[in-house]
Amino acid sequence: MTLGPRLWMNWGPSVTDYPRTSVASMFARGRPSLLSVVVPAYDVAAYLPACLDSVLAQAGTLGRTALEVVVVDDGSPDDSGEIAEGYAARDPRVRVVHTENRGLGAARNEGLRHVGGDLLAFADSDDVVPPGAYATLLRQLTRTGADFVTGSVARWEVGPEGEALVEPPWMRRLHRQRTDVVVDDLPEILGDVFAWNKLWRTDFWRATGLAWPEGVRYEDQPATTLAYLRARRFGIVPEVVYHWRIRTDGTSITQQRSSLRDLADRWSTKLDSLRSVEEYGAPKVTAVMRDRVLAGDLHRYFAEIPGCDDEWWDLLREGVLSIWGSRSLTHSGLLPVDRLVGWLVEQDRRDDAAAVVTYARELGRPVDRVETPAGRRIDVPVIDLATVAPEALALREHER
């Protein structure tokens, strides 16, 4: 499998022919606005009620802003469609659209064809929107006149003491202050790729031709990357505005990284997003995108190297070389041992890469540091370090 022209080109229908209505002007004239929330549903009968309840509960904090919920039953094989219809029968704010199964991106795009609001949000049907989240985003949107606003998220994670909500440190860092910016001011925000922790102006979404890629996983990143690049300004709030469920039953896309399709789709969306940033033409933004944002989740794929088959390894290496081949992952924001693994992937040293990943996993702590005449470096005794480039072992000042 190669990284030639793939499904990332199928971005769904054009949405540039909708009338534009300014959110700011609506508020200036005192007219109430409408928030439309698109909720795709597929095989989520166990989670959908909690999601819909959390979205509908937002109405109590939205003031004069009304709420509508468009549930897209994406050909679900379970009772998700019937559950959604039950909500629609009891609550006129809920509408249900039934389609054949075409995937998350297509379901979101279908939902967009049925919304009537001047404000727009997305929620995945196995997650929950915490109380007051949309009101928090709306206050920042109206205060700043931004095209959209993004907030932090917390993940449900299972630990020794059971399930808990955890705000990832990198999300806290990206959303540490209430502000409105352009992407040049904070290029690291491109790492906040999620569809569902944001409140959008519908006229911005439609006028800029945004749509979710269809037929490919990880569809959030290409669309949100374009949104950051095309926005006049976007807002940021420090509050957690979304609770993201990490499933442990093997059904989550993010639990399928060892599959060839998952890896191919990941490279597809990374390359598509990188092209958009390169076309934007800001060297600083491009450097941050390549070295920090796109490299950010590679350690999760490196973890699959031990035991991978030849085709998966070849595709992993092809993707790494296509993005970092002229620069090397040794310059990236990965942790030291992952920079080493990345270099070994670049060099096609599969056995050594597998050995390092296995050693680090079994060690259960950061690898040792040692002093050398050339400076401080990591120590990984399972491979011949004399055959490794010094930059692949070196520690940076803040890592010492």
The domain ranges of the chain are 23-248, 295-399
Tokens of 48: 């959908």
pLDDT-derived band at 368, boundaries 50, 70, 90? very high
pLDDT band at 163 (very low <50, low <70, confident <90, very high): confident
From the number of C-beta atoms within 10 Å of its C-beta (0-12, 13-18, 19+), residue 321 rates as: middle
Task: Return the pLDDT at 157.
Answer: 83
Question: Higher model confidence: residue 374 or residue 171?
Answer: 171
Residue 220 has pLDDT above 60, yes or no: yes
State the pLDDT at residue 215.
Answer: 93
Instruction: Check residues 212 and 250 and name the one with the higher pLDDT.
Output: 212
User: Which tops the pLDDT comparison, 12 or 254?
Assistant: 254
Mean pLDDT across 23-31: 45
The predicted-structure confidence for 91-110, as pLDDT tens digits, reads as follows 999 999 999 999 999 999 99
Check residue 340 and give its pLDDT. Answer: 98
The pLDDT score that the predictor gives to residue 221 is: 97
Is 341 in contact with 353 (CB distance < 8 Å)?
yes
Residue 161's pLDDT band, with cuts at 50, 70 and 90, is: confident
The amino acid at 345: V
**Quick one: 103 exposed, middle or buried, by C-beta within 10 A (0-12, 13-18, 19+)?**
buried
For 350-380, b/e burial (b = at least 16 CB within 10 A) is: bebbbbbbeebeeeeeebeeeeeeeeebbeb
Q: Give the mean model confidence (pLDDT) for residues 234-248.
A: 92
What's the residue count for the chain? 400
Give the Cα separation of 135 and 192 in Å (integer): 20
Using CA atoms, how far apart are residues 241 and 178, in angstroms rounded to an integer? Answer: 13
Question: What interhelical angle do 336-346 and 350-363 show, nearest 10?
Answer: 160
Q: How far is CA 90 from the centre of its chain?
A: 33
**In the structure, what pLDDT confidence band is assigned to residue 31 with cuts at 50, 70 and 90?**
low
The domain covering 23-248 belongs, at the CATH homologous superfamily level, to: Spore Coat Polysaccharide Biosynthesis Protein SpsA; Chain A (3.90.550.10)
pLDDT at 14 over 50: no
Is the per-residue pLDDT at 246 higher than 90?
A: no
CA 375 to chain centre: 37
**21 pLDDT exceeds 50?**
no
Instruction: Check whether 255 has a pLDDT greater than 80.
Output: no
Read off the pLDDT of each residue in 68-77 and give the average, rounded to a whole number.
98
Does the pTM surpass 0.85? The reply is: yes
Q: What is the mean pLDDT of the chain?
A: 91
Greater model confidence, 150 or 162: 150
Q: Give residue 180's pLDDT.
A: 97
Q: How confident is the model at residue 392 (pLDDT cuts 50, 70, 90)?
A: very high
Report whether pLDDT(366) > 60.
Answer: yes
- Sorting pLDDT into bands at 50, 70 and 90, what band is 155? very high
Q: How far apart are CA 213 and CA 206, in angstroms?
A: 15
Q: How confident is the model at residue 23 (pLDDT cuts 50, 70, 90)?
A: very low
pLDDT > 70: what percent of the chain? Answer: 90
Q: Is the confidence at residue 148, as pLDDT, over 70? A: yes
Per-residue pLDDT band at 249 (split at 50, 70, 90) = low
Weakest-pLDDT range from 11-20, 127-136, 214-223, 340-349 = 11-20
Query: C-alpha dihedral over 263, 129, 245, 46, to 10 degrees?
Result: -110
> Would you say residue 48 has pLDDT above 50?
yes
- Assign 55 a pLDDT band (cuts: 50, 70, 90): very high
Higher pLDDT, 75 or 10: 75
Residue 213 and residue 10 in contact, taking contact as beta carbons nearer than 8 Å = yes
pLDDT band at 159, cuts 50/70/90? confident
